[in-house]
């Protein structure tokens, strides 16, 4: 496997494609915006980027765009190619993309990622993959270049299901950490002392230990860079909405996920767009008990 097509060269896709090129793959990319990525040749269309490639990777904004792009690249892909979708989309769209690929005799994997822009640049992403064992095995060498871990979660759509559940946990836990810091502030507790206790106690979690929302506390995070997004609030809102769409379809009770969705929807509408999702601390720190 040497020739790779990469469609969607945004904040995540561009560094992922660049890492593949650095590893010696022949990468051809396409994006609706004119983007230059070091080591990546430019195609004039998605179909051109997919033509005669061993693998085609997509990183796209939503399920409707994914299905539209697959309608273009599936007919152009060579027999035996593997299609790897790293977008975060709804499970039904992921399964529809798999179906298109399967009907054309192509291997396919839905493989959304965790790790943000920093992980994409560093090549330390986690891939959550859905699809056949054969498709996952074909995609594995590329996952190993772009990330630090890849988990085969199950059949078509399982990668998206895992991503949605993971990010629902992340959204809820970040809100809990921010609420705790806001309460600690009003109780007169020093933020560093709060971190020192919680990070080594039963409240310990990734949202405080690794990605602390309080500036100057814990490891460096977007809070220390004026909340410039590593993972934007509107992307968290997108993922939370996907979790609630899936919960409704599966008749699953997710009351905390529903409330987290409402809070991030409010935060984004009130100025949180363009900020890191951890910046919700700013809103909670300023709010009274009734919000």
Distance CA 76, CA 95 (A): 20
Q: Which residues make Cβ contacts (< 8 Å) with residue 134, sequence separation at least 6?
A: 107
Note whether 69 and 60 are within 8 A (CB). yes
Listing DSSP states for 84-102 in one string gives: EE-----HHHHHHHHHHHH
| Catalytic residue, candidates 163, 238, 275, 283 | 163
Q: Which residues make Cβ contacts (< 8 Å) with residue 49, sequence separation at least 6?
A: 5, 6, 7, 28, 29, 30, 43, 56, 73
Q: Is 163 a catalytic residue?
A: yes
CB atoms < 10 A from the CB of 251, how many?
6
Q: Helix, strand, or coil here: 154?
A: strand
> Which residues are designated catalytic?
163
């Amino acid at each position: 496997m040497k020739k790779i097509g990469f469609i969607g060269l945004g904040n995540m896709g561009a560094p992922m494609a660049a890492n593949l090129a650095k590893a010696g793959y022949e990468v051809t990319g396409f994006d609706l915006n004119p983007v230059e990525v070091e080591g990546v040749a430019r195609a004039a269309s998605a179909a051109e980027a997919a033509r005669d490639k061993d693998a085609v990777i997509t990183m796209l904004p939503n399920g409707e765009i994914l299905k539209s792009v697959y309608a273009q690249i599936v007919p152009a892909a060579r027999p035996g190619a593997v299609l790897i979708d790293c977008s975060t989309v709804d499970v039904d769209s992921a399964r529809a993309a798999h179906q298109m690929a399967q009907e054309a005799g192509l291997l396919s994997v839905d493989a959304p990622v965790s790790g943000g822009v920093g992980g994409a640049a560093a090549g330390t992403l986690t891939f959550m993959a859905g699809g056949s064992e054969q498709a996952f095995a074909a995609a594995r060498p590329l996952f190993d270049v772009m990330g630090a871990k890849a988990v085969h979660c199950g059949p078509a759509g399982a990668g998206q299901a895992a991503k949605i559940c993971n990010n629902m946990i992340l959204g809820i836990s970040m809100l809990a950490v921010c609420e705790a810091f806001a309460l600690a502030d009003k109780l007169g507790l020093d933020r560093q002392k709060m971190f020192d206790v919680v990070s080594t106690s039963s409240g310990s979690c990734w949202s405080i230990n690794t990605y602390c929302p309080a500036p100057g506390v814990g490891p460096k995070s977007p809070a220390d860079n004026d909340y410039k997004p590593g993972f934007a609030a509107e992307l968290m809102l997108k993922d939370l909405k996907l979790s609630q769409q899936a919960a409704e379809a599966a008749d699953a009770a997710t009351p905390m996920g529903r409330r987290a969705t409402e809070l991030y929807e409010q935060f984004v509408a009130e100025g949180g767009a363009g900020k890191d999702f951890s910046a919700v601390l700013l809103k909670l720190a300023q709010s009274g008990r009734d919000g």
